Chain A
Amino acid sequence: DIQMTQSPSTLSASVGDRVTITCRASQSISTWLAWYQQKPGKAPNLLIYEASTLESGVPSRFSGSGSGTEFTLTISSLQPDDFATYYCQQYDNYPWTFGQGTKVEIK
């Protein structure tokens, strides 16, 4: 199985901050990576797919980059609605696997 490792596990930030979350794959996954946002009690919501393509309806302050084994999700200016947990997911190989999550908290 491909292991997905996110860092940090928890991130404290303020409204307006630029936030970066890293996701590393245990082997190359090309650009077959998605990012999700999950709020408590809700299903995850797709933000980014194919490492850098913004899903329709997602604010442009979210962006993704990377290829191979290292990927980043950036929020250019953190908004109150962005405090949530973020997951990366690879779909290069079965079984599809998720990172352990990064919780973005209010500083």
Chain B
Amino acid sequence: QVQLQESGPGLVKPSETLSLTCIVSGDSINSYYWSWIRQPAGKGLEWVGRVYNRGNTKYNPSLKSRVTMSLDTSKKQLSLKLSSVTAADTAVYYCARVKLSGAWGAFDYWGQGILVTVSS
């Protein structure tokens, strides 16, 4: 059974960098796309970006200049860094696996999510 577990600080100060990790268990990390998706309280879902193998990334242009995603295959974990955060970045952040079917893009496994609050 594939499991994803996000971790990181729950509180980040404005202008600082949000850093999250997601540990994957139950399957290989190498052959999949992995994504981060976020959801502000009471609102909808926003795709942040996806990473595949070493350095193969796609980011949401709305965040592109601030976001960095990476994979550490030896640790079976993915990471997200979002710089220069503001209150608008307060959200639950999910890591998710992209299903290997057709045009890869549906998310078949999700972490439970981690709430990150941006506040001084």
Task: Give the B-binding residues of A (Cβ under 8 A).
Answer: 1, 31-32, 34, 36, 42-46, 49-50, 53, 55, 87, 89-92, 94-101
Contact = CB atoms under 8 A, between A and B. Distances in A.
Given A46-B106, A49-B101, A87 B113 contact: no
Contacts of A95: 47, 58-62
Counting chain B CB atoms within 10 Å of each CB, the highest count among A31, A36, A91 belongs to A91
A8 to B, nearest CB: 15
Nearest to A85: B44
Contacts, number: 69
Contacts of A100: 44
Nearest to B109: A46
A98 B35 CA distance: 14
Nearest to A47: B106
Contacts of A91: 103-106
Given A46-B108, A98-B46, A32 B58 contact: no
Nearest to A94: B58
Given A34-B105, A55-B108, A95-B62, A46 B99 contact: yes
